[in-house]
Amino acid sequence: MDHSGLSLFPPQLLCLYTLDIKFMIKLLSFFLLTFLSMTSMAQSTMNIVPLPQTIEMKAGTFMLDKNFSIQYALENPELKRLDIFLRGQLKNRFGIKVSNKKNHTPALIFTIDEKLTRLGNEGYTLIIAPDQIKITAPNSKGIFYGIQSFLQCIPFQSNQKSLAIPCTFIEDQPRFGWRGMMLDVVRHFFTVEDVKNFLDIMSTYKMNVFHWHLVDDQGWRLQINKYPKLTSVGAWRMETPGAVYYAKNDSLTGTPKRYGGFYTQQQARDIVQYAADRNIMVIPEIEMPGHSQAALAAYPQFSCENIPQEVASSASDFAKLYSNYCPSNDSTFIFLQDVLNEVMNIFPSPYIHIGGDEVDKRDWKKHAKDQALIKEKNLKDENGLQSYFIHRIADYLKAHGKNIIGWDETLDGGLSPDALVQSWRGTSGGIAAAKQKHGAIMSPANPLYFNRYQGDPKTEPFAAKFTINTLKKVYQYEPVPVELDSAQTKYIIGVEGAVWVEFIKTYPQVQYMLLPRILALAEVTWSAKKDRQWDGFLKRLPYQFKLFAKEKWNFDEKNTTFEDVK
Protein backbone atom coordinates (compact mmCIF):
# COMPACT_ATOMS: atom_id res chain seq x y z
CA MET A 1 0.00 0.00 0.00
CA ASP A 2 1.18 3.55 -0.86
CA HIS A 3 1.40 5.48 2.45
CA SER A 4 2.42 8.82 0.92
CA GLY A 5 -1.18 10.00 0.70
CA LEU A 6 -0.47 11.67 -2.65
CA SER A 7 -2.16 8.84 -4.56
CA LEU A 8 -5.48 10.12 -3.28
CA PHE A 9 -5.19 13.13 -5.65
CA PRO A 10 -5.76 13.05 -9.40
CA PRO A 11 -2.54 13.44 -11.49
CA GLN A 12 -3.54 16.95 -12.67
CA LEU A 13 -4.03 18.18 -9.10
CA LEU A 14 -0.89 16.43 -7.99
CA CYS A 15 1.07 18.38 -10.63
CA LEU A 16 -0.44 21.69 -9.49
CA TYR A 17 0.21 20.79 -5.87
CA THR A 18 3.88 20.12 -6.67
CA LEU A 19 4.20 23.38 -8.59
CA ASP A 20 2.59 25.30 -5.73
CA ILE A 21 5.05 23.76 -3.27
CA LYS A 22 8.00 24.79 -5.46
CA PHE A 23 6.55 28.27 -5.94
CA MET A 24 5.97 28.71 -2.22
CA ILE A 25 9.54 27.60 -1.44
CA LYS A 26 10.91 30.11 -3.96
CA LEU A 27 8.63 32.83 -2.62
CA LEU A 28 9.61 32.13 0.96
CA SER A 29 13.28 32.07 -0.04
CA PHE A 30 12.90 35.42 -1.80
CA PHE A 31 11.30 37.03 1.26
CA LEU A 32 13.89 35.49 3.58
CA LEU A 33 16.79 36.73 1.44
CA THR A 34 15.16 40.15 1.13
CA PHE A 35 14.69 40.31 4.89
CA LEU A 36 18.25 39.22 5.57
CA SER A 37 19.53 41.71 3.01
CA MET A 38 17.51 44.55 4.56
CA THR A 39 18.66 43.50 8.02
CA SER A 40 22.25 43.46 6.83
CA MET A 41 21.91 46.90 5.23
CA ALA A 42 20.19 48.31 8.31
CA GLN A 43 22.96 46.89 10.44
CA SER A 44 25.54 48.56 8.16
CA THR A 45 24.06 51.94 9.01
CA MET A 46 24.14 51.07 12.69
CA ASN A 47 27.86 50.30 12.48
CA ILE A 48 28.88 53.94 12.89
CA VAL A 49 31.61 54.69 15.43
CA PRO A 50 31.34 56.93 17.34
CA LEU A 51 27.61 56.36 17.80
CA PRO A 52 25.58 59.37 16.57
CA GLN A 53 23.33 61.27 18.96
CA THR A 54 20.21 60.50 16.88
CA ILE A 55 19.87 57.81 14.23
CA GLU A 56 16.60 56.63 12.63
CA MET A 57 16.15 53.98 9.96
CA LYS A 58 13.84 54.87 7.06
CA ALA A 59 12.20 52.82 4.30
CA GLY A 60 14.08 52.24 1.07
CA THR A 61 17.67 52.22 -0.15
CA PHE A 62 20.03 54.51 -2.01
CA MET A 63 21.99 52.83 -4.83
CA LEU A 64 25.58 54.03 -4.94
CA ASP A 65 27.26 53.47 -8.31
CA LYS A 66 29.38 55.17 -10.96
CA ASN A 67 26.59 57.68 -11.74
CA PHE A 68 26.85 59.15 -8.24
CA SER A 69 27.77 62.84 -8.12
CA ILE A 70 28.66 65.40 -5.45
CA GLN A 71 27.00 68.83 -5.46
CA TYR A 72 27.59 72.01 -3.44
CA ALA A 73 28.07 75.75 -3.79
CA LEU A 74 30.96 76.04 -6.24
CA GLU A 75 32.27 79.26 -4.71
CA ASN A 76 33.08 77.54 -1.40
CA PRO A 77 36.72 76.29 -1.42
CA GLU A 78 36.21 74.34 1.81
CA LEU A 79 33.48 72.26 0.20
CA LYS A 80 35.67 71.75 -2.84
CA ARG A 81 38.33 70.31 -0.54
CA LEU A 82 35.75 67.99 1.04
CA ASP A 83 34.57 66.95 -2.43
CA ILE A 84 38.13 65.84 -3.25
CA PHE A 85 38.46 64.05 0.08
CA LEU A 86 35.18 62.12 -0.36
CA ARG A 87 36.02 61.13 -3.94
CA GLY A 88 39.33 59.71 -2.77
CA GLN A 89 37.73 57.74 0.06
CA LEU A 90 35.00 56.27 -2.18
CA LYS A 91 37.55 55.18 -4.77
CA ASN A 92 40.13 53.77 -2.36
CA ARG A 93 37.76 52.12 0.10
CA PHE A 94 34.90 50.95 -2.13
CA GLY A 95 36.15 51.19 -5.72
CA ILE A 96 33.50 53.78 -6.64
CA LYS A 97 34.61 56.49 -9.08
CA VAL A 98 32.36 59.53 -8.72
CA SER A 99 30.85 61.21 -11.78
CA ASN A 100 32.10 64.70 -12.66
CA LYS A 101 28.66 65.72 -13.93
CA LYS A 102 26.95 68.56 -12.07
CA ASN A 103 23.22 68.68 -11.30
CA HIS A 104 23.19 64.95 -11.87
CA THR A 105 21.24 62.36 -9.90
CA PRO A 106 21.72 60.33 -7.81
CA ALA A 107 23.74 62.83 -5.82
CA LEU A 108 25.15 63.78 -2.45
CA ILE A 109 24.53 67.44 -1.62
CA PHE A 110 26.64 69.49 0.80
CA THR A 111 24.74 72.40 2.36
CA ILE A 112 26.09 74.91 4.86
CA ASP A 113 23.29 76.42 6.95
CA GLU A 114 24.65 78.89 9.50
CA LYS A 115 21.24 78.98 11.20
CA LEU A 116 21.75 75.43 12.52
CA THR A 117 23.19 76.78 15.75
CA ARG A 118 21.59 74.00 17.78
CA LEU A 119 24.21 71.65 16.33
CA GLY A 120 27.10 73.61 17.78
CA ASN A 121 30.40 74.07 15.97
CA GLU A 122 30.84 70.49 14.75
CA GLY A 123 27.35 69.04 14.36
CA TYR A 124 25.60 67.89 11.19
CA THR A 125 22.54 66.17 9.78
CA LEU A 126 22.79 63.29 7.32
CA ILE A 127 19.73 62.28 5.33
CA ILE A 128 19.96 59.23 3.06
CA ALA A 129 16.86 59.03 0.84
CA PRO A 130 16.22 56.79 -2.21
CA ASP A 131 16.96 59.61 -4.67
CA GLN A 132 19.65 61.66 -2.91
CA ILE A 133 21.85 62.14 0.13
CA LYS A 134 22.10 65.45 2.00
CA ILE A 135 24.69 66.52 4.53
CA THR A 136 23.82 69.81 6.19
CA ALA A 137 25.85 71.61 8.83
CA PRO A 138 26.58 75.10 10.18
CA ASN A 139 30.11 74.93 8.71
CA SER A 140 32.57 72.75 6.83
CA LYS A 141 33.63 70.94 10.02
CA GLY A 142 30.16 69.48 10.38
CA ILE A 143 30.10 68.54 6.69
CA PHE A 144 33.36 66.63 7.19
CA TYR A 145 31.96 64.67 10.14
CA GLY A 146 28.81 63.96 8.15
CA ILE A 147 31.04 62.52 5.40
CA GLN A 148 32.77 60.26 7.91
CA SER A 149 29.41 58.94 9.12
CA PHE A 150 28.19 58.49 5.54
CA LEU A 151 31.29 56.44 4.66
CA GLN A 152 30.52 54.08 7.54
CA CYS A 153 26.97 53.61 6.22
CA ILE A 154 28.31 52.01 3.04
CA PRO A 155 28.43 48.20 3.24
CA PHE A 156 31.49 46.21 2.23
CA GLN A 157 30.24 43.92 -0.54
CA SER A 158 31.97 41.63 -3.02
CA ASN A 159 30.14 43.33 -5.89
CA GLN A 160 31.45 46.87 -5.70
CA LYS A 161 29.76 48.15 -8.89
CA SER A 162 26.56 49.05 -7.06
CA LEU A 163 26.21 49.39 -3.30
CA ALA A 164 22.84 49.53 -1.55
CA ILE A 165 22.78 51.96 1.39
CA PRO A 166 19.74 51.89 3.69
CA CYS A 167 17.82 55.12 4.02
CA THR A 168 18.63 56.85 7.29
CA PHE A 169 18.24 60.09 9.22
CA ILE A 170 21.09 61.17 11.49
CA GLU A 171 21.41 64.30 13.60
CA ASP A 172 24.65 64.48 15.48
CA GLN A 173 27.09 66.60 17.46
CA PRO A 174 29.95 65.81 19.87
CA ARG A 175 29.79 65.71 23.65
CA PHE A 176 33.28 67.23 24.07
CA GLY A 177 35.04 69.84 21.94
CA TRP A 178 38.51 68.42 22.74
CA ARG A 179 38.91 64.86 21.43
CA GLY A 180 42.60 64.16 21.34
CA MET A 181 45.39 61.66 20.82
CA MET A 182 49.05 62.11 21.67
CA LEU A 183 51.89 60.48 19.75
CA ASP A 184 55.43 60.35 21.13
CA VAL A 185 57.97 60.51 18.27
CA VAL A 186 60.99 60.94 20.54
CA ARG A 187 61.73 57.54 22.08
CA HIS A 188 61.25 56.09 18.60
CA PHE A 189 61.02 58.14 15.43
CA PHE A 190 58.30 57.81 12.77
CA THR A 191 58.15 59.14 9.24
CA VAL A 192 55.93 61.90 7.88
CA GLU A 193 53.78 59.24 6.19
CA ASP A 194 53.43 57.40 9.49
CA VAL A 195 52.23 60.56 11.21
CA LYS A 196 49.76 61.20 8.40
CA ASN A 197 48.37 57.70 8.80
CA PHE A 198 47.94 58.37 12.53
CA LEU A 199 45.93 61.46 11.54
CA ASP A 200 43.87 59.40 9.07
CA ILE A 201 42.86 56.99 11.83
CA MET A 202 42.03 59.87 14.15
CA SER A 203 39.88 61.65 11.58
CA THR A 204 37.99 58.48 10.66
CA TYR A 205 36.64 58.45 14.19
CA LYS A 206 36.13 62.21 14.53
CA MET A 207 39.08 62.96 16.81
CA ASN A 208 40.15 66.60 16.44
CA VAL A 209 43.34 67.29 18.47
CA PHE A 210 46.75 65.82 17.64
CA HIS A 211 49.16 66.31 20.53
CA TRP A 212 52.65 65.87 19.01
CA HIS A 213 55.31 65.02 21.59
CA LEU A 214 58.37 66.38 19.77
CA VAL A 215 60.91 66.94 22.54
CA ASP A 216 62.23 64.86 25.42
CA ASP A 217 65.46 63.60 26.99
CA GLN A 218 65.98 61.06 24.19
CA GLY A 219 65.68 63.39 21.21
CA TRP A 220 64.78 66.77 19.72
CA ARG A 221 62.61 66.18 16.66
CA LEU A 222 61.89 69.64 15.19
CA GLN A 223 64.23 71.76 13.09
CA ILE A 224 65.01 75.13 14.71
CA ASN A 225 66.95 77.33 12.31
CA LYS A 226 68.52 79.62 14.91
CA TYR A 227 69.87 76.66 16.90
CA PRO A 228 70.96 74.01 14.37
CA LYS A 229 72.64 71.80 16.98
CA LEU A 230 69.21 70.97 18.41
CA THR A 231 68.86 68.58 15.48
CA SER A 232 72.47 67.97 14.39
CA VAL A 233 73.26 66.87 17.97
CA GLY A 234 69.97 66.64 19.88
CA ALA A 235 68.09 64.51 17.34
CA TRP A 236 70.54 61.60 17.59
CA ARG A 237 71.57 59.20 20.33
CA MET A 238 73.69 56.08 20.64
CA GLU A 239 71.67 52.92 21.25
CA THR A 240 73.15 49.57 22.25
CA PRO A 241 71.41 46.59 20.56
CA GLY A 242 69.27 44.74 23.09
CA ALA A 243 68.86 47.69 25.44
CA VAL A 244 65.40 48.04 26.96
CA TYR A 245 63.97 51.22 28.43
CA TYR A 246 64.10 51.48 32.23
CA ALA A 247 66.16 48.26 32.46
CA LYS A 248 69.82 49.22 32.75
CA ASN A 249 72.03 46.33 31.56
CA ASP A 250 75.79 46.79 31.82
CA SER A 251 76.40 43.35 30.35
CA LEU A 252 75.27 44.30 26.83
CA THR A 253 78.17 43.79 24.44
CA GLY A 254 76.75 44.96 21.10
CA THR A 255 78.28 47.95 19.31
CA PRO A 256 76.20 51.11 19.97
CA LYS A 257 74.54 52.54 16.86
CA ARG A 258 73.42 56.05 16.05
CA TYR A 259 69.64 56.38 16.13
CA GLY A 260 67.28 59.29 15.57
CA GLY A 261 65.75 61.67 13.09
CA PHE A 262 63.83 64.94 12.93
CA TYR A 263 61.21 66.82 10.95
CA THR A 264 62.14 69.84 8.89
CA GLN A 265 59.99 72.90 9.34
CA GLN A 266 58.51 72.32 5.90
CA GLN A 267 57.59 68.75 6.82
CA ALA A 268 55.98 69.97 10.04
CA ARG A 269 53.95 72.55 8.09
CA ASP A 270 52.90 69.82 5.67
CA ILE A 271 51.63 67.73 8.57
CA VAL A 272 49.83 70.72 10.09
CA GLN A 273 48.02 71.32 6.78
CA TYR A 274 47.22 67.64 6.33
CA ALA A 275 45.70 67.64 9.82
CA ALA A 276 43.75 70.86 9.19
CA ASP A 277 42.23 69.29 6.07
CA ARG A 278 40.82 66.65 8.42
CA ASN A 279 39.58 69.07 11.10
CA ILE A 280 42.51 68.25 13.39
CA MET A 281 44.42 70.88 15.36
CA VAL A 282 48.10 70.06 15.95
CA ILE A 283 49.47 70.93 19.40
CA PRO A 284 53.29 70.74 19.59
CA GLU A 285 54.87 69.77 22.89
CA ILE A 286 58.20 71.46 23.64
CA GLU A 287 59.20 70.08 27.06
CA MET A 288 60.44 72.40 29.78
CA PRO A 289 61.87 72.91 32.34
CA GLY A 290 62.58 69.16 32.71
CA HIS A 291 62.88 66.32 30.19
CA SER A 292 65.30 68.56 28.28
CA GLN A 293 68.40 66.38 28.10
CA ALA A 294 68.51 66.34 24.29
CA ALA A 295 68.48 70.15 24.12
CA LEU A 296 71.10 70.42 26.85
CA ALA A 297 73.35 67.90 25.12
CA ALA A 298 73.38 70.37 22.22
CA TYR A 299 73.59 73.54 24.36
CA PRO A 300 74.80 72.67 27.88
CA GLN A 301 75.16 76.36 28.81
CA PHE A 302 71.41 76.49 29.48
CA SER A 303 71.64 73.92 32.28
CA CYS A 304 72.66 74.67 35.86
CA GLU A 305 75.68 72.35 35.71
CA ASN A 306 76.93 73.45 32.25
CA ILE A 307 78.53 70.02 31.85
CA PRO A 308 78.63 68.46 28.36
CA GLN A 309 76.44 65.35 28.25
CA GLU A 310 75.10 62.98 25.64
CA VAL A 311 71.52 62.65 24.49
CA ALA A 312 69.84 60.16 26.81
CA SER A 313 69.44 56.60 25.52
CA SER A 314 67.17 53.74 26.56
CA ALA A 315 69.92 52.48 28.86
CA SER A 316 70.85 55.85 30.40
CA ASP A 317 71.26 56.15 34.15
CA PHE A 318 69.16 59.23 34.93
CA ALA A 319 70.66 59.46 38.42
CA LYS A 320 73.78 60.74 36.68
CA LEU A 321 72.06 63.09 34.23
CA TYR A 322 70.90 66.69 34.63
CA SER A 323 68.01 67.37 32.31
CA ASN A 324 66.57 70.68 33.59
CA TYR A 325 66.94 74.17 32.18
CA CYS A 326 68.43 76.65 34.62
CA PRO A 327 65.75 79.15 35.76
CA SER A 328 68.26 81.62 37.22
CA ASN A 329 70.04 82.07 33.90
CA ASP A 330 68.38 84.77 31.76
CA SER A 331 70.04 83.34 28.64
CA THR A 332 67.88 80.22 29.16
CA PHE A 333 64.75 82.27 28.57
CA ILE A 334 66.25 84.06 25.56
CA PHE A 335 67.03 80.65 24.06
CA LEU A 336 63.53 79.30 24.75
CA GLN A 337 61.86 82.43 23.44
CA ASP A 338 63.84 82.11 20.20
CA VAL A 339 62.80 78.47 19.92
CA LEU A 340 59.14 79.25 20.64
CA ASN A 341 59.16 82.02 18.03
CA GLU A 342 59.94 79.45 15.36
CA VAL A 343 57.48 76.94 16.84
CA MET A 344 54.68 79.52 16.79
CA ASN A 345 55.51 80.31 13.18
CA ILE A 346 54.96 76.66 12.23
CA PHE A 347 51.94 75.79 14.37
CA PRO A 348 48.89 78.11 14.16
CA SER A 349 47.08 76.50 17.10
CA PRO A 350 46.24 78.81 20.03
CA TYR A 351 48.11 76.45 22.38
CA ILE A 352 51.68 75.33 22.94
CA HIS A 353 52.21 72.35 25.25
CA ILE A 354 55.23 72.97 27.48
CA GLY A 355 55.22 69.65 29.39
CA GLY A 356 56.23 70.57 32.92
CA ASP A 357 56.08 67.00 34.22
CA GLU A 358 58.50 64.95 36.29
CA VAL A 359 60.94 67.80 36.91
CA ASP A 360 63.93 66.45 38.85
CA LYS A 361 64.74 69.49 40.99
CA ARG A 362 67.91 68.15 42.66
CA ASP A 363 70.19 70.37 40.54
CA TRP A 364 68.11 73.42 41.48
CA LYS A 365 68.43 72.54 45.16
CA LYS A 366 72.23 72.68 45.11
CA HIS A 367 72.66 75.52 42.61
CA ALA A 368 73.49 78.77 44.46
CA LYS A 369 71.98 81.09 41.85
CA ASP A 370 68.70 79.14 41.85
CA GLN A 371 68.51 79.26 45.63
CA ALA A 372 69.23 82.99 45.53
CA LEU A 373 66.40 83.44 43.00
CA ILE A 374 63.99 81.63 45.33
CA LYS A 375 64.81 84.14 48.06
CA GLU A 376 64.78 87.13 45.72
CA LYS A 377 61.32 86.30 44.34
CA ASN A 378 60.02 85.26 47.77
CA LEU A 379 59.23 81.77 46.51
CA LYS A 380 58.37 78.98 48.91
CA ASP A 381 60.63 76.28 47.47
CA GLU A 382 61.68 74.59 44.22
CA ASN A 383 58.01 74.04 43.32
CA GLY A 384 57.67 77.80 43.45
CA LEU A 385 60.74 78.08 41.24
CA GLN A 386 59.08 75.81 38.69
CA SER A 387 55.96 77.97 38.87
CA TYR A 388 58.13 81.08 38.29
CA PHE A 389 59.67 79.40 35.24
CA ILE A 390 56.32 78.37 33.76
CA HIS A 391 54.73 81.77 34.46
CA ARG A 392 57.57 83.49 32.63
CA ILE A 393 57.13 81.27 29.57
CA ALA A 394 53.34 81.57 29.74
CA ASP A 395 53.57 85.36 29.84
CA TYR A 396 55.79 85.37 26.77
CA LEU A 397 53.43 83.11 24.84
CA LYS A 398 50.42 85.13 26.01
CA ALA A 399 52.02 88.28 24.58
CA HIS A 400 52.13 86.44 21.24
CA GLY A 401 48.51 85.27 21.36
CA LYS A 402 49.17 81.77 22.67
CA ASN A 403 48.28 79.92 25.86
CA ILE A 404 50.12 77.06 27.48
CA ILE A 405 49.12 73.50 28.25
CA GLY A 406 50.99 71.56 30.91
CA TRP A 407 50.82 68.17 32.55
CA ASP A 408 49.20 68.22 35.99
CA GLU A 409 52.51 68.82 37.78
CA THR A 410 52.30 72.40 36.51
CA LEU A 411 49.67 73.00 39.21
CA ASP A 412 52.44 72.73 41.81
CA GLY A 413 53.26 76.23 43.01
CA GLY A 414 50.48 77.92 41.04
CA LEU A 415 49.60 78.36 37.38
CA SER A 416 48.83 81.27 35.06
CA PRO A 417 45.08 81.96 34.70
CA ASP A 418 44.65 80.95 31.03
CA ALA A 419 46.71 77.75 31.18
CA LEU A 420 45.15 74.36 30.45
CA VAL A 421 45.99 71.34 32.59
CA GLN A 422 46.37 67.83 31.22
CA SER A 423 45.63 65.36 34.01
CA TRP A 424 47.64 62.14 33.62
CA ARG A 425 48.31 60.98 37.19
CA GLY A 426 44.72 59.85 37.63
CA THR A 427 41.89 62.38 37.77
CA SER A 428 43.03 64.49 40.73
CA GLY A 429 44.87 67.01 38.54
CA GLY A 430 41.78 67.58 36.43
CA ILE A 431 39.61 67.97 39.52
CA ALA A 432 42.02 70.48 41.06
CA ALA A 433 42.30 72.39 37.77
CA ALA A 434 38.51 72.62 37.33
CA LYS A 435 38.06 73.82 40.92
CA GLN A 436 40.64 76.54 40.18
CA LYS A 437 38.75 77.40 36.98
CA HIS A 438 41.41 76.09 34.62
CA GLY A 439 40.37 74.15 31.55
CA ALA A 440 41.19 70.47 32.12
CA ILE A 441 41.99 67.73 29.62
CA MET A 442 41.40 64.31 31.15
CA SER A 443 44.21 61.88 30.23
CA PRO A 444 44.54 59.45 33.14
CA ALA A 445 47.24 56.89 32.41
CA ASN A 446 44.79 54.28 33.65
CA PRO A 447 43.01 53.67 31.26
CA LEU A 448 43.99 56.14 28.50
CA TYR A 449 47.68 55.35 27.96
CA PHE A 450 47.70 53.07 24.95
CA ASN A 451 51.34 52.08 25.42
CA ARG A 452 50.10 49.75 28.15
CA TYR A 453 48.89 46.20 27.57
CA GLN A 454 45.44 45.81 26.08
CA GLY A 455 45.37 42.03 26.23
CA ASP A 456 46.94 39.10 28.03
CA PRO A 457 50.60 39.97 28.71
CA LYS A 458 51.45 36.29 28.17
CA THR A 459 50.54 36.56 24.48
CA GLU A 460 50.83 40.28 23.72
CA PRO A 461 53.95 42.10 22.49
CA PHE A 462 56.07 43.59 25.29
CA ALA A 463 54.45 46.76 26.64
CA ALA A 464 54.30 49.01 29.70
CA LYS A 465 53.20 46.93 32.68
CA PHE A 466 51.66 49.42 35.12
CA THR A 467 48.05 48.56 34.25
CA ILE A 468 46.24 46.56 31.60
CA ASN A 469 44.14 49.10 29.72
CA THR A 470 41.61 46.87 28.01
CA LEU A 471 39.18 48.00 25.35
CA LYS A 472 36.31 47.64 27.82
CA LYS A 473 38.10 49.70 30.46
CA VAL A 474 38.64 52.51 27.93
CA TYR A 475 35.00 52.34 26.82
CA GLN A 476 33.67 52.50 30.37
CA TYR A 477 35.78 55.52 31.34
CA GLU A 478 33.71 58.56 32.34
CA PRO A 479 35.66 61.84 31.91
CA VAL A 480 33.58 64.09 34.19
CA PRO A 481 34.53 63.40 37.83
CA VAL A 482 31.68 63.05 40.33
CA GLU A 483 33.66 65.28 42.71
CA LEU A 484 32.79 68.36 40.62
CA ASP A 485 29.58 70.33 40.90
CA SER A 486 27.59 71.48 37.87
CA ALA A 487 29.40 74.82 37.68
CA GLN A 488 32.81 73.16 37.74
CA THR A 489 32.13 70.45 35.16
CA LYS A 490 32.25 73.00 32.33
CA TYR A 491 36.01 73.22 32.86
CA ILE A 492 36.41 69.59 31.74
CA ILE A 493 36.94 70.55 28.12
CA GLY A 494 37.79 67.13 26.79
CA VAL A 495 39.70 63.89 26.79
CA GLU A 496 42.98 62.66 25.33
CA GLY A 497 44.60 59.27 24.87
CA ALA A 498 48.35 58.79 24.58
CA VAL A 499 50.78 56.51 22.75
CA TRP A 500 54.19 56.64 24.40
CA VAL A 501 56.71 54.61 22.44
CA GLU A 502 59.51 53.46 24.72
CA PHE A 503 58.59 49.87 23.82
CA ILE A 504 57.09 50.56 20.38
CA LYS A 505 59.84 50.51 17.75
CA THR A 506 57.81 50.38 14.51
CA TYR A 507 54.77 52.20 13.19
CA PRO A 508 52.71 49.01 12.60
CA GLN A 509 53.13 48.42 16.33
CA VAL A 510 51.74 51.92 16.96
CA GLN A 511 48.68 50.93 14.95
CA TYR A 512 48.39 47.69 16.91
CA MET A 513 48.36 49.54 20.24
CA LEU A 514 45.96 52.18 18.91
CA LEU A 515 43.40 49.79 17.42
CA PRO A 516 40.72 49.20 18.41
CA ARG A 517 41.09 51.26 21.61
CA ILE A 518 40.86 54.60 19.78
CA LEU A 519 37.32 53.61 18.75
CA ALA A 520 36.31 53.26 22.39
CA LEU A 521 37.92 56.60 23.20
CA ALA A 522 36.17 58.23 20.23
CA GLU A 523 32.81 57.09 21.54
CA VAL A 524 33.62 58.33 25.05
CA THR A 525 34.48 61.77 23.67
CA TRP A 526 31.73 62.11 21.04
CA SER A 527 28.63 60.10 21.99
CA ALA A 528 26.09 61.00 24.65
CA LYS A 529 26.82 59.32 27.98
CA LYS A 530 23.30 57.90 28.19
CA ASP A 531 23.62 56.17 24.80
CA ARG A 532 26.92 54.38 25.40
CA GLN A 533 26.41 50.63 25.72
CA TRP A 534 29.25 48.12 25.73
CA ASP A 535 27.33 45.27 24.06
CA GLY A 536 26.07 47.57 21.31
CA PHE A 537 29.60 48.87 20.75
CA LEU A 538 30.92 45.31 20.32
CA LYS A 539 28.25 44.59 17.70
CA ARG A 540 29.50 47.51 15.60
CA LEU A 541 33.12 46.39 15.61
CA PRO A 542 33.05 43.65 12.91
CA TYR A 543 32.32 46.29 10.27
CA GLN A 544 35.21 48.38 11.59
CA PHE A 545 37.52 45.35 11.39
CA LYS A 546 36.66 45.07 7.70
CA LEU A 547 37.68 48.70 7.36
CA PHE A 548 40.95 48.05 9.20
CA ALA A 549 41.67 45.14 6.86
CA LYS A 550 40.82 47.20 3.79
CA GLU A 551 43.16 49.98 4.92
CA LYS A 552 45.81 47.43 5.98
CA TRP A 553 45.91 48.77 9.52
CA ASN A 554 47.53 46.41 12.02
CA PHE A 555 45.18 45.05 14.70
CA ASP A 556 44.11 41.88 16.50
CA GLU A 557 40.45 40.99 17.07
CA LYS A 558 41.18 38.97 20.19
CA ASN A 559 41.84 42.15 22.15
CA THR A 560 38.18 43.20 21.93
CA THR A 561 36.91 40.80 24.57
CA PHE A 562 39.90 40.41 26.89
CA GLU A 563 39.08 41.50 30.43
CA ASP A 564 41.71 42.04 33.08
CA VAL A 565 40.97 39.80 36.05
CA LYS A 566 42.43 42.32 38.51
Residues forming the active site? 216, 291, 358
CA distances from 338 to 283, 287, 443 (A): 18, 15, 30
| Contacts of residue 399, Cβ cutoff 8 Å, sequence gap at least 6 | none
For the chain, helix (H) and strand (E) counts, in that order, are 17, 18
Q: Which of 206, 141, 263, 193 is nearest to 507 (CA)?
A: 193
CA distances from 178 to 86, 206, 338, 442, 450 (A): 24, 11, 29, 10, 18
Q: State CA 103 to chain mean position distance.
A: 37
CA torsion sign for 444, 499, 283, 304 is: positive
Preceding omega of 11 cis (within 30 degrees of 0):
no
Residue 56 near residue 166 (C-beta atoms within 8 A): no
Burial class, 107, CB count within 10 angstroms (exposed 0-12 / middle 13-18 / buried 19+):
buried
Quickly count: other Cβ atoms within 10 Å of residue 294's Cβ. 29
Cα angle 455, 477, 189; round to 5: 55
Residue 205 near residue 144 (C-beta atoms within 8 A): no
Could you tell me what percentage of the chain is helix, strand and coil, using 3-state DSSP and rounding each to the nearest 5? 40, 20, 40
Residue 554 near residue 508 (C-beta atoms within 8 A): yes
Q: What are phi and psi of 425, to 5 degrees?
A: -90, 60
